Amino acid sequence: MKMTIVLLIFTAVLMALIAGLFYAYSCSVVLGLGKLSDVEYLKAMQSINREILNPVFFLSFMGTAILLPVSTFFLRGEQPVFIFLLLATLAYLIGVFGVTVVGNVPMNDQLDQFDISGSTVEAIKQMRENFEARWNFLNNVRTVFSVVSIVLVVCACV
């Protein structure tokens, strides 16, 4: 098997894992979290945001950000594979990686610094109102772009 095929398979698998993560989050986790009280919601999000910072997540999230451009570069002479991979790379780097780094991560960091136990009921309510809708919107953006990316990678594989 050619090395470029192996590279493309690894890229597709990592991309699928990330797309699945954001999709599952959008259609199940945020819905369940939304039913929690303000305190429960904020504590749950703090816990989730801390726990996702693990090697398995970083391998798939960062690995995709690396393998998509590398695959695109190595398959630059293959048409239309190159175009599909280039579009997938742009969609991922802007709509998934970029949105995460510029949008979700700063919000997660702000929430992590929030002292739930030392805050008033009003401050807790305000924190949730400032966090939940925007974070969910940004996650939906990541979901759409990750699904677009995986569709483009699948097209490149076919």
Transcribe 84-116 into DSSP letters.
Answer: HHHHHHHIIIIIIIIHIIIIIHHHHHHHHH--S
Per-residue pLDDT, 66: 97
Q: How far is CA 53 from CA 59, 105, 127, in A?
A: 10, 11, 22
Per-residue pLDDT, 7: 94
Per-residue pLDDT, 11: 96
Which residues of the chain have a pLDDT value below 50?
Answer: none
- Tens of pLDDT, residues 35-46: 999 999 999 999
Per-residue pLDDT, 27: 95
Measure the N-to-C terminal CA separation of the chain; round to a whole number of Å: 16
Per-residue pLDDT, 150: 97
For residues 96 and 36, is the Cβ–Cβ distance under 8 A? no
Per-residue pLDDT, 155: 96
Per-residue pLDDT, 41: 98
pTM reported for the whole predicted model: 0.92
